[in-house]
Amino acid sequence: MEGNEILRGKMAEAGFTQTELAEAVNADLRSAGYEGTVSDRTVRTWLTGKSRWPHRRQRAALEAVFQRPITELGFTPRQEPATARIVPSEDPVLRRRFISASTGIALTAAAGAPAHAAARRVGMSDVERLQSKFAVLVASDHRYGGKLTIETQASALAGEALALQARGTVSQRVRGALYGCAASFTSSAMWAATDGRRFDSAQRHFHRAASLAAMSGDPTIQFRIWSHAGSLYRHMARPADALAANDVARNLPITRRDPLFASLGHARHAAILGLTGDSRAVRQVLGHAQRALEQSHPGEQRPLWLNAFYDQAELDNLALAACLALGNYEDAEARAHRSLSLLRPDMLRTRAITTARLAHAQLGQGDLEPAVTTAMSIPTDPAGQHPRVAGLLGGFGSTLRIAAPASSAARTWDQYTHDSRRNTP
């Protein structure tokens, strides 16, 4: 029996292991109200060809995960008797209605449910349960970042938050908290898509997250979403849109109440301004960011997502991005070294990105051998496979070959990349 090489290729393209694909399919099943029963053994039967036409719900979940029809994933329908009724596959968009729909659709679903389904009282303990799942997702993002599995799981969590409103009775306070959770989870999906260079998907998440945040009434969530939008447009090389989106975040009242929010807004603004070539504005805004950070109080209660990543190390990392964009390589190197010395041990993705930027800063100053040594210090798996890291290292090699094509550093780097590709499974 032939295996499903198309599915294997799509998994490799998305960065899925068998276990990760099983988790992503289960997340989509749960977001649609079903039990997630897919295991890595199930995925193995798909890959070997033992199962050539999964169950109807699994087919719909696979379509939602990969965003393509099931027949484009290497699956073939079983031959049915001519008189058999054809049951259409569920529309993955309809399955994920709680992720992408507005309040009206969610409430309609609740109205159509049996009377006993609405009897359950949803409280803050349910919100806390969702937030504990979110904490696991945030930790995974900091280790690996950008993976389609993280994007899918975050979207599924948003679906859980909205599904709770449709399946139980909630107070106004809990309803706002659930909308806040859904907005925050969708914002995480948006960031994972941005980090993985899936910009079309990121923009779709942004529009959903913005409307959910408005319904939550939570200014911290609104800040996060608009700040993420600024980062999205910065990575798309659209500085005008990035500045406009980040200004929405910077002008929210939360930045006047909490200097840590203000600091993050300024730091991200500096990174965007680097693309415009305005070195004076970059210096000014970085000064605002540093002063605000020094005025913030670490003991204050803040959202998990902010406490999990923003500190002096991240400020220096954003300053590093701005300095590189300006061609200020000496300051960029100084910022990179300080960021790396302060980074928390779990920030593996950020460490790899910062190290790749450090290599660019050293190369920009003509320090070829140190630059190559720095670039080669990044682990090839999984950090080196991250889309942003791979892009930075690809640009590093191109710049090196243009600047010093006959140098020993260029030969060392070419040999290293050749060996790395050969040893990548």
SS3 state of residue 169: strand
| Six-digit token string for 377 | 């210090």
Report the CATH number of the 5-75 domain. Answer: 1.10.260
- The most distant pair of C-alpha atoms in the chain lies apart, rounded to whole Å, by 76
* Predicted local distance difference test score (pLDDT) of residue 114: 43
> How many angstroms separate the CA atoms of 420 and 400, rounded?
18
Tell me how far apart the alpha carbons of residues 95 and 155 are, in angstroms, rounded to a whole number.
12
**Using CA atoms, how far apart are residues 159 and 149, in angstroms rounded to an integer?**
15
The pTM for the full model equals 0.71
Place of tokens 């032939």: 2
Residue 33: count of CB within 10 angstroms of its CB: 14
8 A C-beta contact, residue 367 and residue 327: no
DSSP state of 50: S
Nearest-angstrom CA–CA distance, 144 and 100: 25
- How far apart are the C-alpha atoms of 159 and 311, rounded to whole Å? 31
Tell me how far apart the terminal alpha carbons of the chain are, to the nearest angstrom: 24
If one counts every other C-beta atom within 10 angstroms of the C-beta of residue 115, the result is: 6
φ/ψ (deg, to 5) at 121: -90, 125
- Identity of residue 46: W
Distance CA 71, CA 66 (A): 12
Cβ neighbours of 203 (radius 10 Å): 16
Q: What are the domain boundaries of the chain?
A: 5-75, 121-217
Where are the alpha helices (H) located in 76-218, listed in sequence order?
92-95, 97-100, 103-111, 124-143, 148-167, 172-195, 199-216
Distance CA 134, CA 146 (A): 16
Residue 327 vs residues 4, 9, 133, 146, 157: alpha-carbon distances, Å = 48, 39, 41, 27, 41
d(CA 314, CA 231): 14
Q: Chunk the chain into consecutive blocks of 10 residues (it has 425) and report each block's average pLDDT, rounded to whole numbers.
A: 84 73 75 76 91 89 80 82 42 41 35 44 83 76 70 84 75 87 91 90 92 89 95 96 97 96 98 97 98 91 88 97 97 98 90 96 97 94 77 95 95 91 59
The number of helices, as runs of H, and strands, as runs of E, in the chain is 23, 0
* Residues 100 and 209: beta-carbon distance below 8 Å: no
Helix, strand, or coil (residue 121): strand
